[in-house]
Structure 1
Amino acid sequence: MRIMGLDVGSKTVGVAISDALGWTAQGIETIKIAEDQEQFGFDRLEELIKEYEVSEIVIGYPKNMNNTIGPRAEASERYAEGLKEKFSLPVKLWDERLTTMAAEKMLISADVSRKNRKKVIDKMAATMILQGYLDFKKI
């Protein structure tokens, strides 16, 4: 069984999946959503959960730098609750402070164009969130 990592935004959800042993994370895709219209991409997530036999979901939890919870973290909490209700899987929130910024810096250093960065940034952030979680579980 694999673990799914998600980087949830208001317009997209980056998706990553672990290998079968839970050692490495790989970006899968970016799903377009419309948070303001309550379209959360759950249908596509359901397909991926079945395809990869997902047993657990980890969602990036964007706390503020002073460890407080802001609007985006609250949105992640609501998203996590929706996933729990729909899929009856364990869903964990994982501190993702600076993950998207780190992904952006990595893509810039790899000389990826702004247009191409926009296409993969959320998927890469999901990969970094999931890899951090997997590394922590090994300790």
Structure 2
Amino acid sequence: MTSEVTIRSIQAADTYPLRHAVLWPQESIDYVKLNQDEQGHHYGAFCNGKLVSVISLFIDGNVARFRKFATRPDCQGQGIGSQLLRRVLEEAREKGAQRIWCDARAVNENFYRAFGLEPEGNRFYRGTIPYVRMAKSL
């Protein structure tokens, strides 16, 4: 990829358009807002100044969870989301987390395995979409 990727902290509200467009376009924008957003750490990956990938990190004691990880479809498969996830794993570790987890769409399980996350428990569904909880020690 030729364009420069910049990762930085953003506001929760900055994540909403991408969360909505990528994850739940058939729902209202309110569907992608989380009650905990104000307590979260939100990160964006920018390409040529445009926000193309977002992720939100929540830390509770020594356990971290990332949620609402979304990359613009035309920017997927270029390593941008991978850079963003690596940054969030580092941030979680720096903030004292010893473990991190997410509820991953089952279709993305191999992507998360590449970062050392492993499935825990059974598959479950949100609407018609299968998910699996994935976690790792930091």
Range class of TM-score, shorter chain = 0.3 to 0.5
Higher relative helix content: 1
- For normalisation by structure 2, the TM-score amounts to 0.35
- For normalisation by structure 1, the TM-score amounts to 0.35
Greater relative contact order: 1 or 2 (C-alpha under 8 angstroms, separation 6 or more)? 1
